[in-house]
Structure 1
Amino acid sequence: MGVEALPRTIAWVAQDGADGVDGAVVRLVEQRELPARLVFWDVRCVEELEDAIASLAVRGAPALGLAGAFGVCLAGVELLSGAGDRRHGSESGFDAASHGAEAFLGALEPLARHLAAVRPTAVNLAWGVEQALGAVRAAVVQGVSARTALAHAIAQAQELAREDEVANRAIGAYGAALLPDGARVLTHCNAGSLACGFYGTALGVVYAAFEQGKLAHVYADETRPVGQGARLTMWELTQAGVPCTLQCDGMAASLMAAGKVDAVVVGADRIAANGDTANKIGTYPLAISAAYHGIPFYVAAPTSTVDASLPDGSGIPIEYRDAREVIDVEGFSPDVFNPSFDVTPAALIAGIVTERGVYEPGEILQALSL
């Protein structure tokens, strides 16, 4: 038991070899199985990974960034092995036996674009895809072989995983400094180790405060309709030995009114240039309640979640999901409104905690220039 005993959410696993290409799989925690059992899924092709992303077997913005990078590498392994020829040959025209690195890149790019579009709200997915593709492009310019170009992408993706943990621990340290001694923290959805490679963003703040002896208790919203708080956050906190209580989403304001919350800390799927923040549905009303009760509302996220191309939250694409997530009763099919995310205005956010420090929402672009 303890934070360090939590599983690594997503990793690149290959047979022994210098370049990491042979026998490669993306190993991820199958989060749909939690909390009943901890299951690892060895994903062997990019279509499988896309299914895992769409079905929430892997989710959380930073984890999706890693999935994007590893997914590009997995598609590259398929192309080089010939499996990609059979699976995508009519689209790419790539022949692993005779084509070089430039043709490899040309075949890889449309597969990468398709992967990046699987979940549109979380900007990290497209960011991770571009990080891996950029490594291939840079290698191609150097005149290397297709296999060597792929090895560069794998190395870049693995470096992103290492940087993810370093960033999350820094977010935790910066965020913990904002909390009072004996802090009682309310969180929403799951922005913990399961949403990253390891450690977490919002829960990274919790873990750091817990390790420092500053944390008294965590309250976790169940997070309707999929229940990430009930299934994932409570599982994580329990595994880590953090004192925690589950509540229904609609109970949060009453908890605040009772004086049992000192701070609200949530993650983010995309942050606009002005600090407007998209996060799991239900975050916006939580921020409103926190503002009414005079409770600071913090967003914890890596700088890779900031989308400088969007001036404000109105341009953030919102994913809508299946009505059956809300109600699945045989013979009854009411009209259902089921957005997966909402956008919290910057005015309701006390601070955005990044791996580079804590910023006022309107100053978040300064974090990108460091």
Structure 2
Amino acid sequence: MASSTLLAIKYTRGSLEILDQLLLPHQSIYIPVNDVPTAWQAIKSMQVRGAPAIAIVAVLALAVELNNSSSSTASDSPKSAVKLIHEKLDYLVTSRPTAVNLADAAGKLKALTQDTLSAQDVTSNLIVTTFIEAAEQMLLKDVEDNKAIGHHGATWISNAVGKTSDIRVLTHCNTGSLATASYGTALGIIRSLHSTSSLSHAYCTETRPYNQGSRLTAYELVHEKIPATLITDNMAAVLLQQHNISAIVVGADRVAANGDTANKIGTYQLAILAKFFGVKFVVAAPTTSVDLNTKSGEGIKIEQRPGWEVLVVSGPTVTNNPAKEGGEVVVNVEDVRSVKQAANGIGVFNPSFDVTPAALIDAIVTENGVVEKNADGVFPMEEAFK
């Protein structure tokens, strides 16, 4: 991993810190997350976000809690230890219902600890150690999977558009190092294109109302020195019309068995635009985001966020007005304020995600390769696991 790569998660056994993404891009502050309640709140409040990162932080927080309370856990029976772990995992899953990665990780760890009960001479310490080691392995595997997604996706796009240079890509929300253990999924594909000099320019949306694109993706692109431009969400059609975009690349919080994909609100409209303009629309998703038990997008529960996220904007104040004075904005990070920008009494509709139908998607990139539609126009998502 390159030393310059941003890290949203810092972990050593017994200690977990996350980069508080509510403070980015103006402040880079790591906060400790050493128990389950703190992890639940960090995920719910979006101090950490991105489907892969949510799962990793949740299971590592429980690993840290178990490690640091091993003396008290040791007095429990093995069955009691498993029961405790399962209850805490179930609670963590309630923090963000749409992203499947957390539920997938919890399910795998519940099955593993349950199986460990049948081991010869099983003890509660063995249960805890097994859990901690498995959670740590999930962290390492996420990094490997992201790099594989980046490679597969970059290769597919180059082949699909018939170019090895001058590729222009639009992305939505944040799917980079800040949304994963490192490197990223959709942004990982952009990184891979850039690393081979195939990318001429990246564009990122603002991603209202939480602004993960302007606050986080733009921050990563600048950090990695990738040539990039920020647009507001309602500029996408003009961008596709005028700037020869090769592909739109997005992440996924859940991919149904038929390829329908839940992702950050605004993804669906970009897929419609891509179809109209003949631009490739690519979903980047680790297999932990693929839910074969959900047959279609109709079965995906969409999280509804508080209305104030739309009504209020918050951020540090500035000490000059570049529109009048010229030059860069000088930011005062010590003076954070909130501003209400809508009339009192107005209703708010604020779904955090939407579902893009598989018919609008050209390819789904996983760590195991690229899934394309078969002769019947259907994504055989089970192939992603082979």
Asked if Structure 1 and Structure 2 have the same fold, meaning a TM-score greater than 0.5 normalized by the shorter chain, the answer is yes
Output the CA distance in 2 between the equivalents of 1:338 and 1:70: 30
Output the CA distance in 2 between the equivalents of 1:10 and 1:131: 21
* 1:127 and 2:104 matched: yes
| Secondary structure at the counterpart of residue 33 of structure 1 | coil
- Describe how 1:155-170 pairs up with structure 2 within 5 A: 155-170=133-148
Deviation at residue 160 of structure 1 after TM alignment: 1.0
Structure 1 vs Structure 2: percent identity of aligned residues?
A: 40
Look up the equivalent residue of 1:129 and give its one-letter code.
Answer: A
* 1:103 and 2:80 matched: yes
Deviation at residue 44 of structure 1 after TM alignment: 1.8
* 1:318 and 2:302 matched: yes
Output the CA distance in 2 between the equivalents of 1:259 and 1:13: 45
Output the CA distance in 2 between the equivalents of 1:223 and 1:306: 23
Going from structure 1 to structure 2, the CA distance change for 1:11 and 1:151 (only over 3 Å counts) comes to farther
When structure 1 is superposed on structure 2, of 171-180 and 214-223 the one drifting more is 171-180
Choose from 310, 323, 327 the match for 2:311: 327
Output the CA distance in 1 between the equivalents of 2:356 and 2:50: 17
The answer to whether the 8 A contact 1:276-1:346 is kept is yes
Alpha-carbon displacement from aligned partner over 1:331-362 (angstroms, at most 9, x marks no partner)? 82421000000000000001001111111253
Output the CA distance in 1 between the equivalents of 2:242 and 2:2: 30
The answer to whether the 8 A contact 2:368-2:385 is kept is no
Deviation at residue 81 of structure 1 after TM alignment: 5.0
Query: Which blocks of at least 5 consecutive residues in structure 2 are unaligned?
Result: 313-339
| Secondary structure at the counterpart of residue 141 of structure 1 | coil
Output the CA distance in 1 between the equivalents of 2:74 and 2:263: 45
Look up the equivalent residue of 2:56 and give its one-letter code.
Answer: L
Choose from 35, 40, 60 the match for 2:30: 40
Going from structure 1 to structure 2, the CA distance change for 1:68 and 1:110 (only over 3 Å counts) comes to same
Going from structure 1 to structure 2, the CA distance change for 1:199 and 1:97 (only over 3 Å counts) comes to closer
Deviation at residue 3 of structure 1 after TM alignment: 5.9
The answer to whether the 8 A contact 2:33-2:61 is kept is no
Deviation at residue 364 of structure 1 after TM alignment: 4.0
Look up the equivalent residue of 2:383 and give its one-letter code.
Answer: A
| Secondary structure at the counterpart of residue 334 of structure 1 | coil
Choose from 269, 290, 293 the match for 1:309: 293
| Secondary structure at the counterpart of residue 5 of structure 1 | coil
Alpha-carbon displacement from aligned partner over 1:259-308 (angstroms, at most 9, x marks no partner)? 33111000000000000000000000010011100000000111110000
TM-score, with structure 1 as normaliser: 0.89
Output the CA distance in 2 between the equivalents of 1:352 and 1:364: 10
Going from structure 1 to structure 2, the CA distance change for 1:123 and 1:103 (only over 3 Å counts) comes to same
* 1:222 and 2:206 matched: yes
Output the CA distance in 2 between the equivalents of 1:42 and 1:72: 13
Going from structure 1 to structure 2, the CA distance change for 1:13 and 1:32 (only over 3 Å counts) comes to same
1:152 corresponding residue in structure 2: 130
Output the CA distance in 2 between the equivalents of 1:97 and 1:146: 6
* 1:60 and 2:50 matched: yes
Look up the equivalent residue of 2:195 and give its one-letter code.
Answer: E
| Secondary structure at the counterpart of residue 354 of structure 2 | strand
| Secondary structure at the counterpart of residue 338 of structure 1 | coil
Look up the equivalent residue of 1:363 and give its one-letter code.
Answer: F
